[in-house]
Structure 1
């Protein structure tokens, strides 16, 4: 638990939690906010993307988006979503990068409470203080796919995100980008912290989560993201997430 020694009364008054229905296919282009933002999709599945990273946010997690960080939004599964808006001037949380947070049952209830009770009182101030004290960053998970910056590797990444079933190997991608296998290998490791094969697996698992959330079977999902055998897909999925894909149906 984070320790919030003393909550600024003005911050408690300025924190706003807004819930609403999110519709499949809904998008919002690149934009930014003057305030910090916590995005949580209670029953929806949403993608948030910055210039260098792409997060898939399931209902179990939220994403801290610092003030002034350009990001885009896309809804893959309809449902209920919430945004918690915090004044950047006096907020005790100082994370300067988009940061994943775990939405525990208590955090969930606090966000819903703030949405349902916008009136200012001592109970609401206590809820804000408790919410901020409970927010802890979580390690990057499968929901985060780092995006390389070099034009050659970025072209490969964009193509595989658009079509995760693309089976071109590293040599074919090197020819496609007028580069060498050695260069592409070095750039992927340098810019994403992963080998090309590891990055593609993460991109495929991320795409699989969308298919599973939309109700596709494990077999159909495996084929859609480039696996001929459901067993091979399930094993790759388990290595990345620690769970069998059927858990995410």
Structure 2
């Protein structure tokens, strides 16, 4: 599967934050002031944002990479939300409407990439590949994080950059693109269902995945039989309820890890022993729990 961590949808009349704490909505920094162009095909902006800050839904004609320092961000699309800790980044193709929520206080770096069709040149051809036409969560290497921090974050209202600074930006952006192409893709999570009964159940699990463990207990409020719900999980989501819930558990673990919880604390919070949780992570994503949760990685 090519989906990622998924939380309730942001469109079709569903508010992805209706179970969350009260959010402080803030206006956009006019993205046109950071618009990439042929002379500067990769641009960057940075905002220091408090926990529970929501940047309202928006879209633009260029691709975007969102990465934070020190906190978790939640990027919501029309049908999914991506949970992104500091050691990962999320890619958004051109034209995709999205909103960003700060789960923890952090600096949010947003990089804009000019597609080849808009003047990005041959060096932007990689972005036209089919794999880059969908959102994806990527491992952010220490080099990628260091390069992002070094990019100029001034808007077009700032003083023009000197030729030397522009040349340095070209070198930095070329390395950023190379690191993105080499980055490991995190294929985690499942798509959300269309069936209203199953969607309501999934939202309840996403709100509190530890409330019940058995599907039999979750179906009580759906108005559907256990057999029907189990069939819907397979037909709409391509997996069993247990497999789907495990992905939700991993998403919750990512957010808890950003609070500097130990693996033992995270496991206990999610209803696992440390050994059982570590086995779940290795079985699901093929890496140790410490590597998956970014524990031991240096800060940007």
For normalisation by structure 1, the TM-score amounts to: 0.80
Q: Distance in 2 between matches of 1:126 and 1:192?
A: 43
Question: Structure 1, residues 43-82: CA drift from partner, whole Å, max 9, x if none?
Answer: 2211112233322112222111112212222222222221
Who is 1:164 aligned against? 209
> Is the contact made by 1:26 and 1:74 (CA closer than 8 Å) also made in structure 2?
yes
**Cα deviation, residue 139, structure 1:** 3.3
Whether contact under 8 Å (1:48, 1:56) holds in the other structure is yes
Could you tell me which residue of structure 1 aligns to residue 97 of structure 2? 70
Give the match for residue 90 of structure 1: 119
Aligned-pair distance for 1:205?
1.8
How many positions carry a matched residue from both structures?
Answer: 239
CA distance in 1, matches of 2:65, 2:39: 15
Change (3 A) 1:147 1:215: same
Native 8 Å contact 1:41 1:82 kept in 2: yes
**Residue pairs, 1:1-249, within 5 angstroms:** 10-88=37-115, 89-91=118-120, 92=124, 93-94=127-128, 95-115=132-152, 119=161, 121-136=166-181, 138-142=184-188, 144-167=189-212, 169-225=214-270, 227=271, 229-241=273-285, 242-244=287-289, 248=294
* Residues 149 and 30 of structure 1, relative CA distance in 2, 3 Å threshold: farther
RMSD (CA atoms): 2.9
- Counterparts of 2:190 and 2:104 in 1: how far apart (Å)? 19
Question: Could you tell which deviates more after superposition, 156-165 or 52-61?
Answer: 52-61
C-alpha displacement at 1:23, in angstroms?
A: 1.9
Q: Which runs of 5+ in 2 are unaligned?
A: 1-35, 156-160, 296-300
The alpha-carbon distance between structure 1 residues 123 and 244, as it changes in their structure 2 partners (threshold 3 A), is closer
Pairwise CA distance, 1:224: 3.4
Between Structure 1 and Structure 2, the one with more strand by share is: 1
Secondary structure at the aligned position of 1:205 is classed as: helix
SS at match of 1:186: helix
Following the alignment from structure 2 to structure 1, what is the Cα–Cα distance between the partners of residues 264 and 138? Answer: 31
Secondary structure of the structure 1 residue equivalent to 2:151 = helix
* 1:83 Cα offset (Å): 0.5
Check whether the contact 1:54–1:145 (CA below 8 A) recurs between aligned residues. Answer: no
Structure 1, unpaired ranges of 5+: 1-8
